[in-house]
Amino acid sequence: MTPSARLQATLELLCEIATKPRPADGLVSAYFHARRYIGSHDRAVISSRLYQILRHQARLDWWLTQKKTEATPRSRTIVWLVLGERVASKSLESLFGEGPYAAPSLEDAERKMIRSLEGHTIEDPAMEEAVLAECPPALVSSLKMKFGAQFLTELRAMQEPAPLDLRINPLKTTRDAILATLKEKGIKAEAGKLSPWCVRAFERPSLNALAMLKEGLVEIQDEGSQLVSAVVEAAPGNRVVDFCAGAGGKTLALAAMMNNKGRIVACDVSKGRLKRSSERFRRAGVFNVETKVLSSERDVWVKKHKESFDKVLVDAPCSGTGTWRRNPDARWRELGPGLEALTEMQARILENAARLVKSKGRLVYATCSLLPQENENQIDAFLKKHDDFVLTPCGLNGADFLALTPAEHGTDGFFAAALLRR
């Protein structure tokens, strides 16, 4: 593809992200799938530019406000090319309107804006802290309450792309074997610093080329997510419920911890997600898992199995603020329930999942959120209503909670709390 055609593809994707109620990664994948003629190098260039623009949206919009220009996919892209990629004005002219697949030519107002931006940088001393942090206005107060003086440092870390973390499947392989295989392939990687199952790759190879994925030797899973699974302390012979199993990432980790011994019930309200999880279980050589589609958190199955399980994991639906490194568009787009509806749902799910925990059993509540409303506040409210449960420390260095952040731990943002039934 020509540089002009790659730019036009970026603009088309930005327009889709702005108008379609789907996560950016899914839209990008579908876009390339429908255009098989776009080669791997072109896909990498288009994706890189696209995600850079998404990661800098607040700063780009700040500049557009200064220039009294409406924030659109095209105007943001122009500002990014000038201030982010430092493209000279003459080169910009050739990127627009040159060739059959190019974006429309620059207009006079755009040329004027480009001239006024030259000599500046993407960040300006006049920008507010929230703009530099790429933080949605509605969440500034909560995240400042969470991080205090480290607010900007933590949010800056959320602007960096996430590494590729793999969780080795101990039912089939070892971490040393996977590290050796990656080294043979020329892929730089190292053992994770926190999870005993983590391998962190510092390059992004074609996932289709990694036979270890197809053979179930590894799964793609952030190191923080691996630690959440560890908090459950699932052991061989346990009866375990993954109450919001989704596509089964944490279920797989639990099965490996149990060495395929005992019983895991992977529950979810989505039949499609559970079907996909079953395929992953087979690939990984896991056979102690059964799936259960629930009508809701109040499904009659919960009542029938009251106080029947040793361990229950509630990986609750949440705002996903901890995953902004991977999903920068999620900062600005509300694709599911709002925060108020989410916290109400989380409380209901936790309340009902707790009914499954047997005496002396363990209940783990987890989110990929950084917001106190979805984390500590939920646990406080639950414990005030349930004196038959007690908080037990599960965090790093003996902390009450597992609370991971990109700046401090190099993982996505995760929260987990462990409760024991008296």
Pairwise CA distance, residues 190 & 147, whole Å: 29
Phi (first) and psi of residue 286, to 5 degrees: -95, 130
Domain that holds residue 184: 166-220
CATH of the domain at 64: 1.10.940
Same domain, 98 and 69: yes
Last residue of a domain, one of 189, 220, 251: 220
Which two three-digit tokens encode residue 37?
């003629």
pLDDT digits (tens, 9 = 90+) for 223-250: 999 999 999 999 999 999 999 999 999 9
CATH of the domain at 369: 3.40.50.150
Same domain, 411 and 275: yes
* 218-220 vs 164-168, strand pairing mode: antiparallel
Q: Is residue 156 part of a domain?
A: no
Same domain, 325 and 305: yes
Same domain, 230 and 196: no
**Contacts from 205-213 at CB under 8 Å and sequence distance 24+?**
206/40, 212/173, 212/178, 212/181
Domain total for the chain? 3
Same domain, 245 and 385: yes
pLDDT digits (tens, 9 = 90+) for 2-12: 999 999 999 99
Q: Is residue 140 part of a domain?
A: no
Same domain, 360 and 214: no
* Residue showing tokens 């429908």: 34
Q: Is residue 400 part of a domain?
A: yes
Q: Is residue 104 part of a domain?
A: yes
Residue-averaged pLDDT of the chain:
95
Which two three-digit tokens encode residue 19?
């108008």
Q: Determine the pLDDT at residue 207.
A: 65
Same domain, 197 and 230: no
Same domain, 184 and 246: no
Same domain, 402 and 275: yes
Last residue of a domain, one of 127, 143, 177: 127
Q: Is residue 359 part of a domain?
A: yes
Same domain, 235 and 210: no
pLDDT digits (tens, 9 = 90+) for 58-105: 999 999 999 999 999 999 999 999 999 999 988 899 899 877 888 999
How confident is residue 210, by pLDDT bands cut at 50, 70 and 90? confident
Pairwise CA distance, residues 422 & 292, whole Å: 27
Pairwise CA distance, residues 98 & 89, whole Å: 14
Same domain, 305 and 183: no
pLDDT at 209 over 70: no
Which residues have a catalytic role annotated? Answer: 368
Last residue of a domain, one of 182, 200, 220: 220
Alpha-carbon distances, residue 253 vs 146, 166, 260, 402 (angstroms): 29, 12, 11, 17
Same domain, 308 and 208: no
How confident is residue 303, by pLDDT bands cut at 50, 70 and 90? very high
CATH of the domain at 204: 3.30.70.1170
